[in-house]
Structure 1
Amino acid sequence: MYIIKQLRRKKNISQSELGKEIGVSLRTIQLYERKDANIPIKNLTKIAEYFGLTIAELYMHEVNDMGEAYTKKQPFTKQGSVFYPLDYGKYLVMAPLVLVEWQKKYVKSLSKEGMQNPFQAGFVIDFLADEPHRVFEISGDSMNDGSLDAIPNKAFVLGLEMKKESLGRGNETFWNQPYILVCFDRIICKQLTGFNKQSKSIQCHNLNTSPEYQDFELSLDEVLQVFKVVKKQL
């Protein structure tokens, strides 16, 4: 995040000093100061607190410095996310973040009322949608082939929920795109390539061509939620 560099310079401290304050190395701070850096939520919280900000305020400073000016309109909540209007019809969305260690709790929460997710992550989006947004931390490198489309281990992806039944309608525009699949026993990120009408299964493809990552079919009955990946932070 560029804003970390700006705040650090205003406070007149070095990267090494900031690293010591939050308990990470100089190299880690250098990585954190890059655009779209994927910063673990516990360290992002420490950084925000060090500069006297909330995580949402940290993201607001970031988008302002990147030229996505905050319009001063009141933020609003929709489907569990907080939206901050920006210029040119854009929004900063602070969406619930599902960390890897929270995946089982998230799945259980789908059948319970009132269970709150304490984490959020921010993305700038170009349009509003009626469906819920969620951010997921990726586990593993099955979607990492080193290309621009790669989604590596520990990346954050912003997903827009869609009805899983729509995948069975044969719409060609759905395929060859990454999705988050929330299943009874796991949450996975895969590229979907088609639908098998006979078995009522979706065809899941791994970008990583290593032999340990095999493509497979997954029954829609095993899927609780489907999120189309609309943005990512590496």
Structure 2
Amino acid sequence: MYIIKQLRRKNNISQSQLGKEIGVSLRTIQLYERKDANIPIKNLTKIAEYFGLTIAELYMHEVNDMGEAYTKRQPFTKHGSVFYPLEHGKYLVMAPLILVEWQKKYIENLRKDNFSNPFQGGFIIDFLTEEPHRIFEVSGDSMNDSSAESIPNKAYVLGLEIKKELLTRNETLWHQSYILVCADRIICKQLTGYNKEKKTLQCHNLNTSPEFQDFELLLEEVLQVFKIEKKQF
């Protein structure tokens, strides 16, 4: 992001100094200062806070190659998320972030039909949808097999909510990764099928370690389903 370079120079801070402040290398800061840098939420938050800004403000002040601010439309709110129009039809979505320690509270609020969440995270998306977005912190390494599809412990994933009934009749949704909000927990799994007789979802772990066994989950135990669209480590 060019705005990081501008803020750093304005405050007379070297790349090495900024890297030390947020706990990354000089090379990482150099990569972050590129136009289309993919910066993890936790580090982007640290950078924003270091300069006294929010993540949204960083994106709203992003500049182009000539040092001119992009012309953007006004942000808008939808399904609890704030969308900031960027260039080339992209959007920054600031969505509710459900951290591991907040999962039980999220489920409690969901049961009470009283959604409230004190945390937000940001992802760049390519298009708008009618379905709600949520960001989840993943717990455990059951989906970590070191492949391109891997989702390691403490990763952040952007989920797009879908109706769970779709999983009972749409085979194109199989063999993809999901966040499943259940009555007693929130899990990240790949879904491989639906057993009509048992009314269960077939849950698959990418990690082949013996401690991570595939299992079936009753559909009625699932409160929400989010198809994972993007992830950050």
TM-score (norm. length: structure 1) = 0.84
Q: CA deviation at 1:165?
A: 1.1
Structure 1 residues 39 and 124: CA distance shift in structure 2, 3 A: closer
Q: Which residue identity is paired with 1:151? A: I
Q: Which residue identity is paired with 1:124? A: I
Structure 1 residues 84 and 131: CA distance shift in structure 2, 3 A: same
Would you say the 8 A contact 1:89–1:127 is kept in 2? Answer: yes
Instruction: Give the distance between the partners of 2:99 and 2:2, measured in 1 at CA.
Output: 23
Would you say how many aligned residue pairs link Structure 1 and Structure 2? 226
Instruction: Give the distance between the partners of 1:59 and 1:14, measured in 2 at CA.
Output: 21
Structure 1 residues 15 and 33: CA distance shift in structure 2, 3 A: same
Instruction: Give the distance between the partners of 1:217 and 1:3, measured in 2 at CA.
Output: 47
SS across alignment from 1:110: helix
Would you say the 8 A contact 1:70–1:85 is kept in 2? Answer: no
Q: CA deviation at 1:124?
A: 1.2
Would you say the 8 A contact 1:177–1:191 is kept in 2? Answer: yes
Q: CA deviation at 1:108?
A: 0.8
Q: CA deviation at 1:151?
A: 0.7
Q: CA deviation at 1:122?
A: 1.1
1:18-167 aligned within 5 A:
18=18, 25=23, 30=28, 35-40=37-42, 45-61=45-61, 70-167=70-167
Identical residues among aligned pairs (%): 72
- Residue 179 of structure 2: aligned partner: 180
Uncovered stretches (5+) of structure 2, i.e. residues with no partner: none
Would you say the 8 A contact 1:193–1:203 is kept in 2? Answer: yes
Q: Which residue identity is paired with 2:162? A: M
Instruction: Give the distance between the partners of 2:75 and 2:27, measured in 1 at CA.
Output: 30
Instruction: Give the distance between the partners of 1:216 and 1:77, measured in 2 at CA.
Output: 38
Structure 1 residues 82 and 3: CA distance shift in structure 2, 3 A: same
- 1:99-158, CA deviations, whole angstroms, 9 ceiling, x for partnerless residues? 111111111111235552111111111111111000001111111110111111111110
Instruction: Give the distance between the partners of 1:96 and 1:158, measured in 2 at CA.
Output: 10
Uncovered stretches (5+) of structure 1, i.e. residues with no partner: none
- 1:158-215, CA deviations, whole angstroms, 9 ceiling, x for partnerless residues? 000011111111x221000000000011101100000000100000001111111110
- 1:49-80, CA deviations, whole angstroms, 9 ceiling, x for partnerless residues? 32121221124456x569xx854201110111
Instruction: Give the distance between the partners of 2:10 and 2:174, measured in 1 at CA.
Output: 47
Structure 1 residues 14 and 229: CA distance shift in structure 2, 3 A: same
Q: Which residue identity is paired with 2:159? A: G
